[in-house]
Amino acid sequence: MVQQLGQLPMGWLLTALIIFVVTTGFSVGRIRAERYLVSGRHKFHSRGNYHGYYVAMWGLLPTLFIASAYILFSRAAIFGWLDSELPEGFRQFSRAELQSYLEAVSAAARTGGYTGADRIFATVTNRYLELSGSLNGATLGAMVLAAIGGIAYARRQVAPAFRARLKVERGAEAFLFLCAAIAIATTVGIVASLLYESIRFFAQVPITDFLFGTRWNAQTSAEFGALPLFFGTFMIALIAMLVAAPIGLFAAIFLSEYASPRVRRYTKPLLEMLAGIPTVVYGFFALLVIAPGVRAAALGINSLLINIGITSEPLLAAQPTSALAAGLVMGVMVIPFVSSLSDDVINAVPQTLRDAAFAMGATKSETIKQIILPAALPGIVASMLLAVSRAIGETMIVVMAAGQRARISFDPSTDLTTITVQIVALLTGETQFDSPKTLSAFALGLVLFVVTLGFNLIALRVAQRYREKYE
């Protein structure tokens, strides 16, 4: 019986129980309030719905607290109990090996794939199910008792003079504050983890060697010069923005100022469909279509330059994968980020500005150039920033179309790599978080964070400057 409890789908059960508690609490609170209303002898401060919300809130809070504790700590608690009960022979395992063994036990318990395993493994798995079942049963029972207690307490508060609406508003305010706090805490946690691991890395590798070194070979040797990664990242992002910025901005201008309602109705959704295409599809397109075209064009340029006598050797590398191919496809991918946001910002410019410009004899193109674009500049800059951030963080297209060789080359037909590609490569497979190889991924992530923060500060400055001018 206990082992069967250990196999319960706790995610679904917790969700169903929370929904049931909210529904029951709301019904209990509203029914009790309506009993007072039916009598007609009392004047309520708040409507019956608010009393229902109040009771549901008190039933939900302790339930959510217990469910959150279960989600966060149940796995670690079970592993701790199981670790303390393992035979002495397991003490010879390292912490990593023991954790891997317990993970295998957990996976076998979920899938039932331990019946044919060795006797010790099956015994440990059965014990895991027993501990999991005990914890699951205790959690569900505690949630039910906590919900009943919360609902009972809140139900006694329901009265004509009870200010349920104010209590619910304060609860909603506290919930919104909690969401904001979680977002801030998550950001602080990410930054703190990046800083901590980066400091550990820079304790082993000098920061100057990392930032200004020109040789990167973290996989096989201790060469952590990240300058080729920075170069490849910004080169591919630059090529992408050279494609996305003008096409996206001009498309936004056309849709907002020149296109008829019918054309806009069909063109804008088709343009935004580009954002919904998986990046792996873009990668296949870049590898199979764009990269061969870039290579053929590079070979043609080399042949032409040699034939006319400008050079005696090929000038372009003409690699099967290239930064130009990845940048071109990545530019197409981020066009919707520029066009859609810029279109919304341009449409948000007051029509009175356009009418005033037309009344003074300005043409449509003059109005767009001198009135609309300056007024919409903060939003356009924000769209460009979003597109740049998306391009810098892209991985799949670079892996498939640009290669993974870290080097500095201004030849767009050669293969390059980026920071994100190397982060994925460093953190894939078995990793040791005390080695410079793994810690270098956090240092690269810190660099990306600083660069993105810089872009945000620049965009904020531009937005503040022009908003004061045109508001």
Question: Residue 406 CB: number of other CB atoms within 10 A?
Answer: 23
* Whether residue 189 sits in one domain with residue 116: no
Q: Is the pLDDT of residue 468 over 70?
A: no
More confident call, 348 vs 114: 348
Q: For residue 15, which amino acid is it?
A: T
Structure confidence at residue 351 (pLDDT): 85
Domain boundary among 105, 134, 162: 162
What b/e readout covers 16-42, taking b as 16+ CB neighbours within 10 angstroms?
ebbeebbebbbebbbebbeebeeeeee
* Whether residue 452 sits in one domain with residue 345: yes
* Whether residue 373 sits in one domain with residue 288: yes
What is the pLDDT confidence band of residue 71, given thresholds at 50, 70 and 90? confident
Q: Is the pLDDT of residue 464 over 80?
A: no
Q: Is the pLDDT of residue 219 over 80?
A: no
Q: What is the mean pLDDT of residues 215-233?
A: 83
* Those residues with Cβ within 8 angstroms of residue 384's Cβ, 6 or more apart along the chain or in another chain: 241, 245, 338, 459
Structure tokens at 14: 């917790």
Reported as a single tens digit per residue, the pLDDT across 437-449 is: 888 888 888 988 8
Structure tokens at 258: 């020149």
Contacts within 8 Å (CB) and 24+ apart, 30-38: 32/155, 32/158, 33/158, 33/164, 36/158, 36/159, 36/160
Distance, CA of 414 to CA of 78 (rounded, Å):
52
* Whether residue 280 sits in one domain with residue 333: yes
* Whether residue 377 sits in one domain with residue 317: yes
Q: What is the mean pLDDT of residues 58-67?
A: 90
Reported as a single tens digit per residue, the pLDDT across 349-359 is: 888 888 888 88
Q: Between the CA atoms of 12, 13, 16 and 20, what dihedral angle is there, to the nearest 10 degrees?
A: -170
pTM: 0.72
* Whether residue 340 sits in one domain with residue 252: yes
Reported as a single tens digit per residue, the pLDDT across 260-281 is: 888 888 888 888 888 888 888 9
Q: Is the pLDDT of residue 470 over 60?
A: no
299 close to 315: Cβ distance less than 8 angstroms: no
What is the pLDDT confidence band of residue 429, given thresholds at 50, 70 and 90? low
* Whether residue 236 sits in one domain with residue 185: no
* Whether residue 395 sits in one domain with residue 307: yes
Containing structural domain, residue 29:
2-162
Structure confidence at residue 119 (pLDDT): 74
| CATH number of the CATH domain containing 215 | 1.10.3720.10
* Whether residue 254 sits in one domain with residue 199: no
**Which of 2-16, 52-66, 217-231, 253-267 has the lowest average pLDDT?**
2-16
More confident call, 91 vs 421: 421
Structure confidence at residue 7 (pLDDT): 62
The number of residues in the chain equals 471
Domain boundary among 152, 178, 203: 203
Domain boundary among 133, 162, 191: 162
The packing angle between helices 164-202 and 48-85, to 10°, is: 30
Structure confidence at residue 183 (pLDDT): 87
Q: Is the pLDDT of residue 226 over 90?
A: no
SS (H, E, C) the chain: CHHHHHCCCHHHHHHHHHHHHHHHHHHHHHHHHHHHHHHCCCCCCCCHHHHHHHHHHHHHHHHHHHHHHHHHHHHHHHHHHHHHHCCHHHHHCCHHHHHHHHHHHHHHHHHCCCCCCCHHHHHHHHHHHHHHHHHHHHHHHHHHHHHHHHHHHHHHHCCCCCCHHHHHHHHHHHHHHHHHHHHHHHHHHHHHHHHHHHHHHHCCCCHHHHHHCCCEECCCCCEECCHHHHHHHHHHHHHHHHHHHHHHHHHHHHHHHHCCHHHHHHHHHHHHHHHHCCHHHHHHHHHHHHHHHHHHHHHHHHHHHHHCCCCCCCCCCCCCCCHHHHHHHHHHHHHHHHHHHHHHHHHCCCHHHHHHHHHCCCCHHHHHHHHHHHHHHHHHHHHHHHHHHHHHCCCHHHHHHCCCCCCCCCCCCCCCCCHHHHHHHHCCCCCCCCCHHHHHHHHHHHHHHHHHHHHHHHHHHHHHHHHHHHC
Q: What is the count of structural domains for the chain?
A: 3
Structure confidence at residue 469 (pLDDT): 53
Reported as a single tens digit per residue, the pLDDT across 92-141 is: 777 777 777 777 777 777 776 555 557 777 777 778 888 888 888 888 88
* Whether residue 97 sits in one domain with residue 234: no
* Whether residue 290 sits in one domain with residue 351: yes
Reported as a single tens digit per residue, the pLDDT across 163-218 is: 878 888 888 898 899 889 988 999 898 889 889 888 888 888 888 888 888 888 87
What is the pLDDT confidence band of residue 243, given thresholds at 50, 70 and 90? very high
